[in-house]
Structures are given as C-alpha cells and as structure tokens.
Amino acid sequence: MSSPPPAEAALNEAPPEQRLHRWSWLFVLLMQLRQFLLPLVALLVFGNRGDRDQMWSYLAALVVIVVLVGTSVLQYLTYRYRIGRDAISVRSGVVSRNRREIPFARIHNVVVHQNPLHRLFGVAELRLESAGGARPEAEMRVLKLSQALALEQLVRHRGQAVVAPPTTTDADLDAEAVTPPVDDGVLLQLSTPEVVRIGLLSNRGWVVVLAAVGASFQLFPDGTVTDAIEEGGRQALGYANGLHPATWVWAVAAMVAAAAFWVLLRVFSVVLALLRYHGFQLSEQERRLTVVSGLLTRLRSSVARRRIQAWTLRESLLQRWAGRRHLRIDIAAGVSEENQRRDLRELAPLATPEAADALVQHLLPQVQWPPAHWQPVQQRGWWRLSLGTAVWVPLVAAAGVWNEVPWAAVILLWLPWSAFRAHRQMARMGYHLDDQYVAVRGGWWQRWWRFAELDKLQVLRLSRSPLDRLLGTASVWLDTAGASGSVALCLRYLPHAEARAVHARLSAALAQRRLRW
C-alpha cells in the first residue's frame, strides 16, 4: 500500500466513489425473483391450456425475467457510495436519481445480514438504520464481508478511530478488516441445548403449519388440497367404522393423535429455534451492543447502549416452570417489517431470572432492578378485565341454542374462568416510580415487566374512559422512541388523584429534561 497523503491534503481531497460487489446484481435479481415466484409459477402451470397458450405463457415469463435481469444490472451500475469523514454518501436510482448523506452520528443500528448464498460467495448485506424511519437509511446489496465489517466499525467509532477516512477505499477496508472485529465482553451466549429449550418452550411450530396451509391454497387455489383432505378423512373413518371399535378406543385414538400433533409442533419449534438462534451471542464493545445469531442465515446487529429506550421482560407458563425468561428492548431506530422480528431487540431470547436481572443491572447501573417495592392497583374494578367476555359469551351460547345446538351452552363455562383470570391479573398489576425510571408489571398466565428511564420518555398522557369516570380511576400512558410490541408502558386503573399526582411528577421530570437540552 502507498503511504497516505498529508492530513491537509486528505481533508481537501474528495473521497472516491465506490461500487458494490460485482455479484450484487445477482442477489438483487434473486430477491426480485422471489417476489415474482408465485405469479410466474401460476402463469406457467395454469396458463398452459393449449399449444398457443403455452407458447404465450413461456414468452411472457421470459419477458418478465429479462426485465428483472436488466433492472438488477442497472441498479448495480447506478449505485455508488462514498465514505467521508463524518458521513456516508449514497447515490442510486435508475430513472429518478437519489443522493443521500447519512452522518455517522445519525446511524443508530447496523445490521450485517448473511444468508447461505451470501456465505458461499463471501459477501454480506449491510443495512444502516436511524431513529424514526420506517425503512433503513441505506441497504447495500451486497459488499464483501470484510468491507461490511469494516463499515460497521466505522459506525461503531463514529469515524474517530479511522485513519484518513476521506480517502478510504476498498483496499483500505479490506486491510482494516482482514479478521472480524473482536468483541471485548460476552454478556450472554446460548448453547445448543439452551436453543433447543427455546423451541420446546415456545409455539413457533404453528408458524410452519399455517405457512404450509397458506402455501397449499396459493399453489392449488381450485380446492384440490381441501378435496384430498376430505377424501382421505372419509376413507380413514370408513375403515375405522368397519372395525367396529369401542368408545374407549376412539378416545385413545384421539388422545394419541393430539399427542402426535403436539410433538410435531414441538419438532417444528425446535427446528425454527435452531435456524434463528444457533450460535447466539450478545457482546459489548465500547458501549455498543452486538448480537450475532443464525444457523443458515447469519445476522449481526449492532447498536449503541444509549439508543435503548425501553425494556420488556416476559415469561410464559412453560418458561416459568422451566425457570426462564425473555428480555427484549426497544431502540431508537426505524426498522422494516422484513427484519422486525430478527434484530438486536432480543437481548436474551431465553435466560434464567437471575441472568436476565443481572444483564439489566449491568446495562443500567444507575437503576435498581428489580424494584424493592411495587405499588399495587386497587382490586375493586377487577371485573372490567372480563367485561368483554361477559358480553359475547352469553350471546354466542344463546345463538347456538336458538339454532338447535344444545351443546353450545357449554361455552358458558368460560365465564367463571374468565372472571378468575381477570381477578388474578388485577391482583398482579403494579407499578414502580422513582427518580431514575418507571416500571409496570402485569399478566398472570403470561407475566411481563416493562420499564424505561425517565430521560427516555417522549409522550405523556392522562386518559379517562367513561368506565374510569364511573369508578373514579384513570390511566397514565407513556411512550418512548421506537416503542414496539404488545405490552404498553401504561399505569392502568389508578385512583384519579393518584394518577394526577403521577402525571404531575412525570411532567416535571420531562420539563427538567427539556431544560437540560
């Protein structure tokens, strides 16, 4: 390598523009073909009703493929990026030309994605995400793996640790990243038995079953699958009736079938867990967290600790019996639906309660977790949690009896269970508020804890429904940047005076934060 130019010349010299990997057009083409796969298959399979139709179907499919290939090549030829001192400049577009300047300080999350084909070619896809965006700031499909890791380090150091960044070239990136960056501290690492346990304690197997059902109806929309299932079921029942089995035999057969289906779901769940979490490792380097996981598709995601906005701990009934929990965070970075479920937001897919609490305490040393005291919620309004069930269950039962379905009245047995569950949920509700953070807890069958530092709160709202006015209660809703998930950061069903006091206290904390800004 030649010696770098003097500092003054490097500052004034414009950095050269660079292209993506020479095979990037192929990966863009494969991505587009995946989107058009079902229409192409339908065109070739269901469009062949004669020699003339078959010829037009093949010609139309060929035209579509040629257009996709041409688009992919044009995207490769028109995509350029430049690594500057403080920002990355991206120029792209075939018809409409776009130019984006992405400051390093604006990039909150870096994702390095590798599927099996990427690993075969030694390349990776790089996504740069910022706060509040529905899509990544930049998607580089594809770069050399060494270049992608070097760019990740550039963002990690915010351009401060790179020598002469304005003149960084492909050769410089390769020289800086001959080996992947070494993480200083491993905070959590999941072994293969622990990953298998994730599958056994989850219901991810339903994803495979529902995906198979949806794909079958897409590929065979004329009812072929439904007819085959009905015919197979009719033959099986006919054969079984011919044997004249006793009632207990039917009962045993039903239990065996249910047990076999449950085992099949667990097998699917374990396979999905291995594909997603194999080699899971959470590490910390220079106050940035990095998660690496995946068996076939490897995903490496990195984010600064200060971008963490809120925390959520959850445990299902099976996880509680196994002594495990799940830790998830919200970060100030927009994310597309494609990778919303697979990124750094899962800090601990499965960990013991002690390990999860220790991880929170390590990353939030200024707070005391778990709280020493939870403020409970009054129990007198517990029935409101089962109010919806108390309305629709009798209506469904009455409609069934009216239509001469006497066994429909059995659904009324759900009412006492719903009331019991609502009482237990209200008994477990509580919140904690101090000068550092606010936390809420809830759930009974599925337990959860959610908390955030006061400095990370963005929106504060005091809400009262007509039922709240009747019972003299109110709810305080809190929001942070990047909020996601089904659990809201909300202090529910507080007495009105207590809710107003909490709202005033949090408002004062937000006002002090604005003054500091």
Domain-by-domain residue ranges, the chain? 205-276, 382-425
Question: Highest-confidence range of 51-55, 216-220, 459-463, by mean pLDDT?
Answer: 459-463
d(CA 200, CA 319): 10
Q: Is the pLDDT of residue 25 over 70?
A: yes
Report pLDDT digits (tens) over 368-403.
999 989 999 988 889 999 998 999 999 988 888 888
Residues 141-156 pLDDT 10s: 889 998 888 888 887 7
- pLDDT value at 244 more than 80: no
Which is more confident, 30 or 193? Answer: 193
Q: Please give the model's pTM, rounded to 2 decimal places.
A: 0.78
The fraction of the chain above a pLDDT of 70, given in percent, is 77
Tens of pLDDT, residues 302-346:
888 888 889 999 999 999 999 999 999 988 755 444 444 445 688
Q: What long-range pairs does 133-138 form, CB within 8 A, spacing at least 24? A: 133/333, 133/334, 134/334, 134/336, 135/334, 135/336, 136/111, 136/334, 136/335, 136/336, 137/100, 137/102, 137/106, 137/107, 138/81, 138/88, 138/90, 138/100, 138/102
Q: What type of residue is 63?
A: V
Percentage of the chain modeled with pLDDT above 90 = 34
CB atoms within 10 A of CB 281: 15
Rg of the Cα atoms in the chain: 28
Tell me the pLDDT of the chain averaged across its residues.
81
Largest CA distance in the chain: 94
Express each pLDDT in 194-218 by its tens digit.
999 999 998 888 888 887 777 676 6
Q: What is the pLDDT of residue 230?
A: 67
Q: What mean pLDDT do residues 187-193 have?
A: 93
Higher pLDDT, 86 or 441: 441
